[in-house]
Structure formats: C-alpha cells, structure tokens
Amino acid sequence: MHEISIMQSTLQLAEKYAREAGGTAISRICLRVGAVSGVVPEALEFAFDVLKKETLAKSASLHIERVPVEFTCSRCRSSLRLNEIRFDCPDCGELLTLGGGGAELELSHLELIQS
C-alpha cells in the first residue's frame, strides 16, 4: 500500500510549510486526488489517521477533493468528466478518448493554527 508513504511525505511537507508560516498546529489538510492517479483516497484517509498522531496535524482533518478525468467521444463529440475509467461513450457506445486531467496528486492547501 503506497498510500502510507505518500501520506508520510504529505505530512512532512505540511509540517514544513506550517513551520515556515509560523503555525503551531495544522487544523486541516486538503489534497487533490485524480481518478487515474493510482491512489486510493480511502487508503490515504486510513494512513492519515494512523500517521498524524505524532505530528503538528494530530488534531487535523483531511479533505480529499476527487478530480475527475475528462473523456471525449470521437463519434458524437460528447465531453465527459468521470470519476472512473470508462472506455465506451454512454450516449453512442463509441470508444472514448482520454481528454486530460485526473492524474493529479497534490497538497492543495493547509489550514493552520498560530499561537
């Protein structure tokens, strides 16, 4: 489960940014996770709950924004934004083409407590 190492790195980065900004604690960590990033959001949540205990984020919440992937149909030109991989157009059944997005994995923002 590579989500544990991803969350370890995320927490280290969050602590670095928090300290640089003069924060004494982190109240919320927000991540953007794409549908085709290869990361399981539920596994990230589990790893966060386990790993945050000895960090500035020990009382923090985790918010995960799921970023859809964009597809385009070559026949009917439908544009779709999906949270899953799909190969056929729901309107005409033609093969879908990957349009972009959905591969994101980023720390989008932190909410800090400053004393």
Give the closest residue to 44 by CA, choosing from 9, 85, 86, 83. 9
Place of tokens 């056929």: 88
Which residues, in sequence order, are CB contacts of 10 under 8 Å at separation 6+? 29, 31, 107
User: Exposure pattern of 65-100 as b/e (b: 16+ CB <10 Å)?
Assistant: eebebbbebeeeeeebeeeeeeeebeeeeeebeeee
**pLDDT by residue (tens digit) across 2-57?**
999 999 999 999 999 999 999 999 999 999 999 989 999 999 999 999 999 999 99
Q: How confident is the model at residue 78 (pLDDT cuts 50, 70, 90)?
A: confident
* pLDDT score of 59 more than 80: yes
**pLDDT by residue (tens digit) across 88-107?**
998 899 999 888 888 999 99
**HEC-encoded secondary structure of 25-85:** EEEEEEEEEECCCCCCHHHHHHHHHHHHHHCCCCCCEEEEEEECEEEEECCCCCEEEECCC
Looking at residue 85, its pLDDT comes to 81
pTM given for the model: 0.85
Cα–Cα distance measured from residue 70 to residue 99, given in angstroms and rounded to the nearest whole number: 5
Looking at residue 6, its pLDDT comes to 97
CATH of domain 3-68+102-113: 3.30.2320.50
